[in-house]
Amino acid sequence: MAPTEFHIFLFSRSLSECKITLSSSSIAIIHLPKELQRVYWKPANWPVLFGLGLLHLLSFLPLRVLRRIGRSVGRLLYKVSRRRRHIARVNLQLCFPDMSPEKRQQLLVEVFENTGMGLLELAWCWYASIPRLEKSFDIHGLEHIRKAQQQGHGVLLLSFHLTSLELGGTMLATRQKDIIAMYRPHKNPIFEHAMTSGRARVLEPVDRADIRKVVSVLKKKKVVWYAADQNYGIKQGVFVPFFGIPAATITATSWFAKKGNAIVIPMTHRRSEKGMDISIHPPLENFPSGDDTQDAATNMAFLENYLKQYPADYMWVHRRFKTRPEGESGVY
């Protein structure tokens, strides 16, 4: 009599990823890259495996329930993450000095609640079925992308580090089928494999260091999902105003647009009762302008205007003002 087998799929719904076969005589891991097979069950990776397994289970929950749990996670993070709480508080004080202390405190808690929701939304991003994603959002302005491509241009989809960034981009990619996402590889190989495998269900992840690849796909009139609003230092950037404060901002947006013959189109996304409300905005005018500093200022001005309406949407836990102009002291 043949042994009874039970198949468990970890961190992917795809047969080609990780399948563990349990039988009466053996336990085998197949279809994993060899370098991962060597480190997969090392104790140092157990917390990552547990977290990813938990995300996989959470992916079966309705989005509204997942977000309810995420808010609680965010409130817990607010209490235990003293450093991130300090960073977010300083950012809000700098950017909203006219806001009353009571309202700013309420906003700070909302920021953490949204951050918690963003963390748990990874469950849907990487593991929820594509049909569930497809029916959980509304989109406005997709014609801007289509028009740019019809005119012979690639599209640099200018995103920002809103707390719904991952899910907003994933949902868009179920509708716009030619999206390439620039990203920074994760140091942990298990998490990196889970992240890229989850994203690859709907788009093509590309290491942000692979500049030739990015330019190539733009020239092929495809869409590159790209965020350039965080602090990466001043070596590849310039200082431009963000809420009236000099903020180090990279100038690569202009370079990619120029080299790839691309139109720069901003995208924002907000959580809604249905799931997500995605807005594809009109292309930035006169971009690139030939002045990298002016272009970087245009990018940050767009984000600032959005955040004046929806201030709790942003990842204020990031040290956006870490790099200071010469002679200025640190703010954190």
Res 259 pLDDT > 50: yes
Specify the pTM: 0.88
The residue ranking higher by pLDDT, 19 or 105, is 105
In this prediction, residues 289-312 reach a mean pLDDT of: 97
In this prediction, residues 39-62 reach a mean pLDDT of: 91
User: What is the token pair recorded at 74?
Assistant: 């965010």
In this prediction, residues 154-173 reach a mean pLDDT of: 98
Residue 11 confidence (pLDDT): 39
CA dist., res. 29 & res. 40, Å (int): 10
Res 79 pLDDT > 80: yes
242: which strand partners? 245
CA dist., res. 59 & res. 194, Å (int): 14
User: How crowded is the C-beta side of 302, counted as CA atoms within 13 Å?
Assistant: 23
Report the chain's mean pLDDT, rounded to a whole number: 90
Residue 36 confidence (pLDDT): 77
Residue 32 confidence (pLDDT): 65
Name the residue ranges covered by the structural domains of the chain. 1-32, 136-313
272: which strand partners? none
Q: pLDDT of 178-224, one tens digit each?
A: 999 999 999 998 899 999 999 999 999 999 999 999 999 999 999 99
Please state the length of the chain. 332
In this prediction, residues 151-167 reach a mean pLDDT of: 97
In this prediction, residues 125-150 reach a mean pLDDT of: 97
% the chain with pLDDT above 70: 90
Q: Mean pLDDT: which of 7-11, 34-38, 189-193 is highest?
A: 189-193
% the chain with pLDDT above 90: 83
CA dist., res. 249 & res. 84, Å (int): 21
Asked if the peptide bond before residue 131 counts as cis, ω within 30 degrees of 0, the response is no
In this prediction, residues 147-166 reach a mean pLDDT of: 97
User: How crowded is the C-beta side of 286, counted as CA atoms within 13 Å?
Assistant: 8
| Residue 23: strand, helix, or coil | coil
